[in-house]
Amino acid sequence: MDANHVFCGIVPPHMLDHLARSGSAAVADAARNALRMDAFHRERRLSAVAGAPPQPTVPGAGTPPDAAQRCAESVLRRTIGDAEHHQRLPGRVVRAEGQDAVSDEPVNRAYDGLGHTHRLYLDAFERDSIDDSGLALNATVHYSRHYDNAFWDGEQMVFGDGDGEVFNDFTISLDVIGHELTHGVTQYTANLDYSGQSGALNESMSDVFGSLVKQYALGQGAAEADWLIGEGLLTDQVQGVALRSMKAPGTAYDDDVLGKDPQPATMDDYVETTDDNGGVHINSGIPNHAFYLAATALGGNAWERAGRIWYDVLTGGKLATDADFASFAGLTAAAARARYGEGEEVQAVLDAWKQVGVPTGSEEGSAVVRQRSGTTAPTPTI
């Protein structure tokens, strides 16, 4: 499944399905509406025929020799539109690059979130916007009415206002903005298939760099960070703190209406399912936890070493579109050696994957993980 043609919303379908059966008519209606609109955007992306999909980029291919100079000349270009509770994109332009803040806080939060994401990639990884070629960053707020999601549609960010009972406005969480824009980075680089373990890696990459966007903006080290994805999105009526926890997968929420966080932290609890494209939002908890373990073992700022290793794998040209956890883990160990030599970085990476039950080297281990991934089951239809 080509990642360029897959709809990637921050709220996974299993959560919306649960809410659609809620006893609250307003919550159930909002969830069903979100599922309908998500299906519409999914079909729109699958049927898109205008232009060829972006091709994965490989460092050095078409890159000017002086990358530092290229990044120094990078120009941030943001435009925020207001859908005014309709379903039209990009909506009425309400704030453009360099303009002052407006009275509508979702507009300002979206504008700032795009900037924080651009800044992390530029400062930490010398990446010039999402496509590494200065792509303008655009977003639309107030999409539809009570829309319970936010997504990257292949060209821009789109934010719903939430239903007010379970979900707050989706611009509230900076890591959500970083998460969705990172789907764009993956789209332009490894282009990971959005199914099974490669799809879980796709989601995990967005969680990893979404968290790093927040940590970089707040100046937080790995030990200080909350490692939550979607912190602030859940209203005070919900028993939960976020959509996901990288530190402790499976503990983000446990609520009568929303259900219980189903994410596993290790391969012992890997979830076999044909729902959610083979559990891409569920089993992503395993590589998420591996990154958390590696980053906290190394200490300091997570974007400086652990983040650099993960970024090298994402953009290095060796990650197959259908990669499983074991092959990705092996590449992170190789990337750590290539950048840092045989030091604590390599050991931290190896230990992290060992703790979550993913092998990093042997073909036998990789085969075991493939077998557990459920790849012999019919490919989910989206």
Catalytic residues: 180, 281
Look-up of token digits 């821009």: 156
Q: Give CA–CA dist 252/24, Å, rounded.
A: 22
Find out whether 80 and 136 touch, Cβ atoms under 8 Å. no
Look-up of token digits 């507009």: 107
Instruction: Convert 214-242 to b/e letters by CB count within 10 Å (16 or more is b).
Output: bbbbeebbbeebbbbbbbbbbeeebebbb
DSSP 2: -
Strand positions, DSSP E, the chain: 8-9, 78-82, 92-96, 137-141, 150-152, 157-159, 228-229, 244-245, 254-255, 259-260
CB atoms inside a 10 Å sphere around CB 258 = 22
Pick left, alpha or beta for residue 238 (phi over 0 → left; psi -120 to 50 → alpha; otherwise beta): beta
